[in-house]
Amino acid sequence: MRTYKRKTDKGKTPPDVMLRAVQMVINEGRSVNSVANDFTIPQKTLDRYVKKARTQNENGTEIKLERVGYFNRRQIFSHEHETLLADYLKRASDIYYGLTPKELRKFAFQYASSNKFEVPANWTKNKMAGEDWAAAFIKRNNSLSLRCPQATSLSRATSFNKTNVNMFFSNLKTVYNRLHLEPSDIWNVDETGKKPDRIIARRGFKQIGKLTSAERGTLVTLTVAVSASGNSIPPFFIFPRVNFRDHFIRDGPVGSLGDANPSGWMKEEHFIKFIKHFIHHARCSKERPVLLLLDNHESHLSVPALDICKENGVTVLSFPPHCSHKLQPLDRSVYGPLKKIL
């Protein structure tokens, strides 16, 4: 972050002193130069405030100086909103889903957009807050700091423990009792990818290549939601393409929906489309709420997606981080057998 240090004492005239000087010029008829010398105010500065005050006088309003001297650039968020944002970051970190600085910048932009705050042009262009804002935000909130998390492999080995599992099922029980859910109202959603099949190769060689068409891509992501009663909604596909075409899902299950992403992976905008697809087929509402169980991937927890869920009676509960290999029902009972068949 660029830290600016003032090099002069300019702009430090108190507002009440500036107001008295302006009133002397206007009400007593003294010259700007003499009053500026008496109060040790730069002549051009006093002349500028006098012109503003005379404009107020002509409009019949009382002479009032709202701002005097230099002032801080406009803040995007109020103190209350920054406190809420800081509390969210700490809570996310406590449940092992801490945001990186880049994720914070994306979330801040979404937060500002949701509240219809005016933001700089570069925020809108990049769809995220600036680096300077993020650094200044952390500096303003001394309860926050940057920390390096544990490696994923170690986290996966240590996160599946009695405490985390008990906390998840405790939250599940609380939501279940609060919403009075039936098995048909409890849904689980997860993605899986279809990669190239294994091939037979010479023993002793670890790096094996296979010629493929560049147009075919390497990964198609399949997203499915299944309820505890065994019902499912039509799948949602993400194809490794720049643009989606309707014929991609021509021979797919009835009601299927699709989108495109060059990497083939799901991103925030794709999950928003899937949530709308899910709400349409699950027929949920605030009068008929449902519970959606999913992992805590960043694409699932964007502000627009959570807002859509809230408006349509979808309560989201995520599995503990790095525990989906043990707790995710679709991983354990559906995707494993499916991949073996394919």
CB contact burial 299-325 (16+ within 10 A = b; e otherwise): bbbbbebbebbeebbbbbbbbbbbbbe
Question: In this structure, what token pair is assigned to residue 61?
Answer: 């309003």
- Strand 220-227 with 236-239, pairing: antiparallel
The pLDDT tens digits for 27-40 are 888 998 998 898 88
Query: Among all chains, which residue has been given the structure tokens 């005050």?
Result: 53
User: For residue 221, which phi and psi values (nearest 5 degrees)?
Assistant: -95, 130
Q: Which of 140, 103, 108, 136 is nearest to 122 (CA)?
A: 108
Helix runs in the chain, H state only: 15-27, 32-39, 43-58, 79-94, 101-114, 121-126, 131-140, 152-159, 162-179, 268-282, 303-311, 324-327, 329-330, 336-341
3-state secondary structure of 334: helix
**What distance, in Å, lies between the first and last C-alpha atoms of the chain?**
51
Query: Among all chains, which residue has been given the structure tokens 């503003």?
Result: 52
Residues of the chain where predicted confidence (pLDDT) is lower than 70? 1-6, 8-9, 60-61, 66-67, 69-74, 95-97, 148-158, 194-218, 339-342
User: For residue 180, which phi and psi values (nearest 5 degrees)?
Assistant: 55, 60
Question: What pLDDT is stored for residue 40 in this prediction?
Answer: 86
Question: What pLDDT is stored for residue 195 in this prediction?
Answer: 54
Question: What pLDDT is stored for residue 150 in this prediction?
Answer: 52
State which H helix or E strand residue 254 sits in.
Answer: none
Question: What pLDDT is stored for residue 14 in this prediction?
Answer: 81
Q: Could you tell me if 316 and 309 are in contact, meaning their C-beta atoms sit under 8 angstroms apart?
A: yes
Question: What pLDDT is stored for residue 153 in this prediction?
Answer: 54
Residues 6+ apart with CB under 8 A from 143: 86, 90
Residues 6+ apart with CB under 8 A from 53: 22, 23, 26, 63, 65
Question: What pLDDT is stored for residue 258 in this prediction?
Answer: 92
Question: What pLDDT is stored for residue 125 in this prediction?
Answer: 93
Q: Which of 320, 238, 306 is nearest to 272 (CA)?
A: 306
